[in-house]
Amino acid sequence: MRLLSSLLSSTNPLRHHFTSPLRNAFSFQFRNFPRLFSMDSSERSLRNALSLKQLAVEAQGDAVRALKAAGAAKAEIDAAIEALNGLKIEKASIEKQLHAVVSGAGGGGDGALNRESFRQAVGNTLERRLFYIPSFKIYRGVAGLYDYGPPGCAVKSNVLAFWRQHFVLEENMLEVDCPCVTPEVVLKASGHVDKFTDLMVKDEKTGTCYRADHLLKDFCNEKLQKDLSISSEKAAELKHILAVLDDLSADELGAKIKEYGITAPDTKNPLSDPYPFNLMFQTSIGPSGLLPGYMRPETAQGIFVNFKDLYYYNGNKLPFAAAQIGQAFRNEISPRQGLLRVREFTLAEIEHFVDPEDKSHPKFADVANLEFLMFPREDQMSGNSARKIPLGEAVSKGTVNNETLGYFIGRVYLFLTRLGIDKDRLRFRQHLANEMAHYAADCWDAEIECSYGWIECVGIADRSAYDLHAHTEKSGVPLVAHEKFAEPREVEKLVIAPVKKELGLAFKGSQKNVVEALEAMKEKEALEMKATLESNGEVEFYVCTLGKNVLIKKSMVAISKEKKKEHQRVFTPSVIEPSFGIGRIIYCLFEHSYYMRPSKAGDEHLNVFRFPPLVAPIKCTVFPLVQNQQYEQVAKVISKSLTVAGISHKIDITGTSIGKRYARTDELGVPFAITVDSASSVTIRERDSKDQIRVGVEEAASVVKDVTDGFRTWEDVWSTFPHHVSASAED
Amino acid sequence: MRLLSSLLSSTNPLRHHFTSPLRNAFSFQFRNFPRLFSMDSSERSLRNALSLKQLAVEAQGDAVRALKAAGAAKAEIDAAIEALNGLKIEKASIEKQLHAVVSGAGGGGDGALNRESFRQAVGNTLERRLFYIPSFKIYRGVAGLYDYGPPGCAVKSNVLAFWRQHFVLEENMLEVDCPCVTPEVVLKASGHVDKFTDLMVKDEKTGTCYRADHLLKDFCNEKLQKDLSISSEKAAELKHILAVLDDLSADELGAKIKEYGITAPDTKNPLSDPYPFNLMFQTSIGPSGLLPGYMRPETAQGIFVNFKDLYYYNGNKLPFAAAQIGQAFRNEISPRQGLLRVREFTLAEIEHFVDPEDKSHPKFADVANLEFLMFPREDQMSGNSARKIPLGEAVSKGTVNNETLGYFIGRVYLFLTRLGIDKDRLRFRQHLANEMAHYAADCWDAEIECSYGWIECVGIADRSAYDLHAHTEKSGVPLVAHEKFAEPREVEKLVIAPVKKELGLAFKGSQKNVVEALEAMKEKEALEMKATLESNGEVEFYVCTLGKNVLIKKSMVAISKEKKKEHQRVFTPSVIEPSFGIGRIIYCLFEHSYYMRPSKAGDEHLNVFRFPPLVAPIKCTVFPLVQNQQYEQVAKVISKSLTVAGISHKIDITGTSIGKRYARTDELGVPFAITVDSASSVTIRERDSKDQIRVGVEEAASVVKDVTDGFRTWEDVWSTFPHHVSASAED
């Protein structure tokens, strides 16, 4: 359960109750403000130098004009102009230096251009080969909706199958499958109906909608990157805004938009004040129109409402984890960033229920020795970078709150790197105190770096008992666990006993309110009252349902602590939630897997995806070297064996050159190609090394199966079979 | 693409354009009217006998009353009463016979009771073991929404994985994954916005909604089954209504509801006239509220709108098939029948695109020898039952329209029976002429018999070019295929050349309308005009955009047929669509797999699901025979090997008796149980035979893997390893 903290009104006491691990990726780069806010000293001195130089240019310009007006000698005027030009050159040089500094830090310069062109190269290949395409393209599409075409769909189903293997099967999780259509009451309890909003502004003339924070962010970035004349104070102010953008209230955002004169980007019309827009797709269930519903914004709620049954299914034992893979929906105001911010997406979520008093994990030792990039809160605040920390150390030192949370962080690391995510561009970033919900014990995001920056792809949060509490309260069904004691235990319990007769005499019609308020006191408050009553005999007591203080006398309430025997402990379990944005992971995987290499002739660049076999959309292609019935027959025999072995593959019997056929499958990330060049033996080529071995026809399928399923490595196969060096074409 | 034909107004020319393979299951039992309508002769004679006997009872009653009124002798009165009682007994006997006949035919009697109690037994087991549960139960649920709990979810993902293997991988289909949120324009083109409706009536006082046809159907069934006094003519009328229910218009349904005085079931209040209710969940895309959208009612449209890209991806070659698995949504007016009629469900759809002039299939020979229950149109009309027909014969005799359609029927048969559907309760029923859309070439439903009757679970339709045409027209993007000719071909083409000068003089401002109308003439109309112009020199011509006739003279238009050379043929492919209702298949599979057997003591019934390993939610359990550290250690070692082998399993180390532990896993349909009763060897038990073999610890996992993956049969394993006969407990 995660909501957008950034855009809730700051006056709302719930604003920090909700975090948004899968929403805030774009804004993250500005979130780490202690580091970004402290402007680089070279930038500050350059901005100051630039301001001074600008003043000098203006003064010299005035001087030139004055000389001309006074009819001074040509030599004198020329000298002044020459001085002016000198100053302009110096100014341009400072601008250039400043531009370089700003680009490096803010992402708008050459680095950004490289990222942009890389992104375009990947994107073109992905769209051309139908990894994904904008949905409903023949009808000009809908922003934020994408289709996975055949290879993308295969990658997605491989990623999900591995997720199921790695988490659900290996950890014995209880997988469930709940509907997307959700009645309002469920999302009212979770808080989504009231709080799952972004702040929106409207073009006052055309009615076009924009995200208020996007406009302010774009304005600040544009100013910082393109307008080099702004003072270092102004630059600091803009950077500060970017840093605190997520924390601005509607009023604060509105005030800044007014102050900077920001208008609608397309029309330059004035904008409305910001107001909240709920991001859920609303619908109506049944024909009456009386039962409002929403398309779920996450899959987690389906698990929480089933807690009681799942706990029973697990033999009334903790801990256990439930999992769900499914579609989720968010009606984004203005989707950006391709596959990273979409209106419908696949989530895979785990809710691990655990006794809040024992968050140890029996398998933690299996991951304790892993060492990878972690970015604890303190390092972010003090301006350090992410660094490699052994997971065991992070947990034992308390950087990561508990073993179970640590175990999942380790399992997520293994999951992502086995898919092919580059471990050097993957980090686990801890939420800062102001990002976390007040009830959360700890929260870490797996962030993957791609051309859009560091993107949050998995959120791993210890959400304590919040969600089960919320549904217990709304539904009246206790979502709790029991711990039976071997021996009954003696516990001390607070007992508050209002004396109704006395209270009735004193407060008449308000008696009930006073009684309820007394009974609702927390332990600390009650003990304080007890002490005051004992010393003073009376005490002022605020009754919120009456809106005033009343005077409570000693005779009106008895407060004591009593010892009781208890046979079991009843408690609300904590939940540790790893939540995976599958589309984001896949997009980052595409970027990390993509590379270009020159063709043999060197005249063009060929695209390759270095997907591991686990992920590759097709594991193998089968090519008859030339069009010839005998070779085709052999190809069909091998194809049949591959089918039996469960290896997805494709035959290509077109007459295209073998080099072109290899290039075509490299572009789909197919790891192996079997080429039939005789009736008895064939070659197998590995995609990235382009190395080829020669194997017998009857062995081909099983060799490919072994390397695909990970029973053998390519190196092992390479050292076993004779090598093949092709005389022509690409290889 | 399938819409509800039954409930479209009969005056609507499109009413037969839409069929509803996955919607009409419930009404099917009444659809086969020629057979049901012809009332059984014994029923007719019984109804007549009953009427006569009723008259006799009434007459004798009158006689008794007359005797009493006249003060007749007691003996005389007693004799008359005895005669009356005799008549009443005879009447009761006829009623009993009639009841038996009606129950057998209509499904309301003892057979129905057995079905009902069977259904309850399965349902209780399924819900208790969390195969599925009503969604949002703690909030009292929502009709028509269900969750799959852990074992149901595992069965579902096994079914989908096998579907993907059997269809997508083995047939090299192009799988895509499109969003559920769909903009209105797409579903406008497909016809869903205008025609995807059911007829609804409202309680005029409370506003409660009902499906009009459900109320009429319930009324007729109730009358036929419970009111034995109705005449045979009346019974025939009611049966006729049930038979034609799907074809009744809103007006006809409304008239019948009025005629029979049908009122709201709960309140007995009067009902409104029937009116259409669109079954799609509506929503709004983006923040403006200006882009209406729907949750897709099927996945097929996502494929059709991508035809152009997919055709290109396939190297611009036909035939090819695209496939999609995903959620679909239908806002049912009043969902019934548990998992069979729900508001959100998983569809798996295939769209096989093929040249309309060549619907042969290269792999048809692979399925031609299959023989299974088929129910061709003619057999349904003539009152015969479904019968076994070799598929090859059905295609060669033209019963099945073409090889490709036949191939898919065969593949669907293999798919369903491999899942565990009983082949004797599976039939392929051809649509009657009045069920099929006018454009459809042929249509067969795979129907599975369960306690609800014969349920349509897969629709296999040859939809011709309808869908691609519809989207071509709406989007303006030609969704066509090309066939390049080896040699250019000479074709005759109609040429209509309006003479604009003459037309301008005659029609001035209306010239454009006349020109367009002339150019839009179909070949037949144009050739008729040509003939008339040649004989009469002029002709009356209706211009619809002007709303009137104009007089066309010979000088105003030249019509001719010209020979042209063509290098390619451009055509809209036909589409053959197998569409699978995954939830329905799974529910039927639950019923077909369920059985009860007595416990060893014979004192209770134990529930078993005989799922094949392919489908079973867990493949294997591992039990230490007694709680003991050594055995638990062995269990863990075996568990680890099973994980490596990819076999889903569960360890149960509770101290429960081994018999109880077997019973518990039988109820989940787990096919194999490994019991650790020594440190060196273990037993493996097969669920249905309860037979046990003994194998070495290190072999256990691989034996289970082999039988689970189908590399070995249990019989083979049984004949290889020593048998184990347990002395105690269940086994």
Chain A residues whose CB is inside 8 A of the B170 CB are 643
Residue B11 has pLDDT above 50, yes or no: no
**What average pLDDT does range B164-182 have in this prediction?**
94
Is residue A359 very low, low, confident or very high in pLDDT (cuts 50, 70, 90)? very high
Query: What is the residue whose two structure tokens read 């036929």?
Result: B224
B138 contacts in chain A (CB < 8 Å): 305, 308, 471, 475, 477, 479
Instruction: Check: CB of residue B583 under 8 Å from CB of residue B155.
Output: no
Phi/psi-derived region of residue A289, left when phi > 0, alpha when psi is between -120 and 50, beta in every other case: left
Q: pLDDT tens digits for A588-626? A: 999 999 999 988 787 888 999 999 999 999 999 999 998
CB contact at 8 A, B461 and B576: yes
B157 touches chain A (CB under 8 A): yes
Nearest residue in B to A329, CA atom: B181
pLDDT of residue B580: 98
**Averaged pLDDT for residues B119-145:** 95
- CA–CA separation, B722 and B731 (whole Å): 16
The per-residue b/e assignment along B493-514, b for 16 or more CB within 10 angstroms, e otherwise, is eeebebbeebbbebbeebbebb
Question: Residue A489 corresponds to which tokens in the numbers above?
Answer: 């235990």
The residue with greater pLDDT, A282 or A110, is: A282
Cβ within 8 Å, pair B175-A183: no
Q: What is the pLDDT of residues B258-292, one digit of tens each?
A: 999 999 998 999 999 999 999 999 999 999 888 99
Instruction: For residue A180, give the nearest of B154, B327, B654 by CB distance.
Output: B327
Contact B174 A329 (CB under 8 A): no
Identify which of B185, B67, B183, B121 has the alpha carbon closest to the alpha carbon of residue B608: B121
Within 8 A of B174 by CB-CB distance, chain A residues are 149-150
Q: Do A138 and B305 touch (CB under 8 A)?
A: yes
Cα–Cα distance for residue pair B401/B360, rounded to 1 Å: 11
- pLDDT value of residue B19: 39
Tokens of A310: 């799942």
Rounded mean pLDDT, B559-585: 94
Give the model's pLDDT for residue B404. Answer: 97
B156 in A contact zone (CB under 8 Å):
yes
Residue A600, pLDDT score = 79
Size of interface A-B (CB pairs under 8 A): 217
Burial class for A625, CB neighbours closer than 10 Å (0-12, 13-18, 19+): middle
- What share of chain A in percent tops pLDDT 90? 62
Q: Do B181 and A295 touch (CB under 8 A)?
A: yes
Distance CA B46, CA B398 (A): 42
Which residues make Cβ contacts (< 8 Å) with residue B530, sequence separation at least 6? Answer: B559, B560
**Tokens read off for A285:** 């269930």
Cβ-Cβ contacts under 8 Å, B284 against chain A: 281-282, 331
How confident is the model at residue A9, as a pLDDT?
A: 30
- A643 touching B (Cβ < 8 Å): yes
Q: What is the mean pLDDT of residues B198-206?
A: 93
Tens digits of per-residue pLDDT, A308-347? Answer: 999 999 999 999 999 999 999 999 998 888 889 999 999 9
Distance CA A518, CA A540 (A): 12
Residue A202 corresponds to which amino acid? K
Report pLDDT for A400. 96
Question: pTM for the complete prediction?
Answer: 0.82
Any residues with CB less than 8 A from the CB of A588 and at least 6 apart, and which?
A421, A448, A449, A450, A455, A457
pLDDT over threshold 80, residue B191: yes
What separation in angstroms does the CA of B422 have from each of A662, B28, B277, B658?
46, 20, 37, 31
| Across A200-204, A266-270, A333-337, B588-592, least confident range | A333-337
Average pLDDT of the residues in B99-124: 72
* Cα–Cα dist B686/B620, whole Å: 10
Across the range B532-540, mean pLDDT stands at 92
> By C-alpha distance, which of A193, A179, A304, A280 is closest to B143?
A179
The answer to whether the Cβ–Cβ distance between B175 and A157 falls below 8 Å is: yes
According to the model, what pLDDT value does residue B6 have? 33
How confident is the model at residue B135, as a pLDDT? 96
Of B180, B313, B643, the CB nearest to A327: B180
Tell whether the model's pLDDT for residue A19 goes beyond 50.
no
CA angle B362, B368, B369 (to 5 degrees): 145
User: Cα separation of B259 and B240, whole Å?
Assistant: 15
* Partner A contacted by B165 (CB < 8 A): yes
Between chains, do A208 and B288 touch, taking CB under 8 Å as contact?
yes
* Closest partner CB to B331 (pick from A174, A175, A285): A285
B314 inside 8 A of chain A by CB: no
Work out the mean pLDDT of chain A and round it to a whole number: 88
Joined tokens for residue A243: 């840093």
- B103 pLDDT band (50/70/90 cuts)? low
- The two most distant CA atoms of chain A are separated, in Å, by 109
Q: What is the pLDDT of residues B606-656, one digit of tens each?
A: 999 999 999 999 999 999 998 888 999 999 999 999 988 889 999 988 878
Model confidence band, residue B437 (pLDDT cutoffs 50, 70, 90): confident
Contacts of A542 (CB under 8 A, 6+ apart): A517, A548, A549
Q: Do B643 and A477 touch (CB under 8 A)?
A: no
Q: What is the mean pLDDT of chain B?
A: 88
Q: How many angstroms away from the CA of B685 is the closest CA of chain A?
A: 22
CB contact under 8 A, B186 and A152: no
Q: What mean pLDDT comes out for the span A229-245?
A: 86
For an interface test with A, give the residue of B132, B137, B138 to mutate (most A CBs within 10 A): B138
Measured over the CA atoms of residue A347, residue A353, residue A357 and residue A358, the dihedral's sign is negative
> Where is average pLDDT lowest: A114-123, A716-725, B171-180, B429-438?
B429-438
- CB-nearest to A183 from B142, B152, B164 is B142
Please report the pLDDT score of residue A102 as a whole number.
67
**Chain B residues with CB inside 8 Å of A152's CB?**
177
State the pLDDT at residue A41.
64
Touching A: B residues 259-298, CB under 8 Å: 277, 281-288, 291, 293, 295
Region B16-34: mean pLDDT is: 33
Q: Which chain B residues are within 8 Å of A165, Cβ to Cβ?
A: 646
Q: Is the pLDDT of residue A697 over 50?
A: yes
CA end-to-end distance (rounded Å), chain A:
52
Chain-chain contact of A313 with B130 (C-beta, under 8 angstroms): yes
Are A589 and A479 in contact by the 8 Å Cβ rule? The answer is: no
- Beta-carbon separation of A208 and B475 below 8 A: no
Closest-CA distance of chain A to residue B475, Å: 6
The residue ranking higher by pLDDT, A93 or A304, is A304
Choose among A505, A551, A510: nearest CA to A529: A551
Give the pLDDT mean for A685-690: 95
CA A294, A297, A300, A301 torsion-angle sign: negative
Helix axes B582-593, B150-163, angle to 10 degrees: 110
How much is the ipTM here? 0.82
Residue A355 has pLDDT above 90, yes or no: yes
Encoding tokens for residue A463? 């959400």
Please give the helix or strand (H or E) that residue B409 lies within, else none: helix B403-419
Residue A35 above 70 pLDDT? no
CB contact under 8 A, B283 and A283: yes
- pLDDT 10s digits, A168-199: 988 899 999 999 999 999 999 999 999 999 99
Q: Is B149's CB within 8 Å of A471's CB?
A: no
Q: How confident is the model at residue A493 (pLDDT cuts 50, 70, 90)?
A: confident
On the question of pLDDT at A15 being above 50, the answer is: no
Contact B130 A309 (CB under 8 A): yes
pLDDT for A300 equals 96
Can you tell me the distance from the alpha carbon of B408 to that of B426, in angstroms, rounded to the nearest whole number?
15
Q: Is B199 on the interface with A (CB under 8 A)?
A: no
Q: Which residues contact B30 (CB under 8 A, 6 or more apart)?
A: B36, B217, B242, B243, B245, B246
Across A673-683, average pLDDT: 94
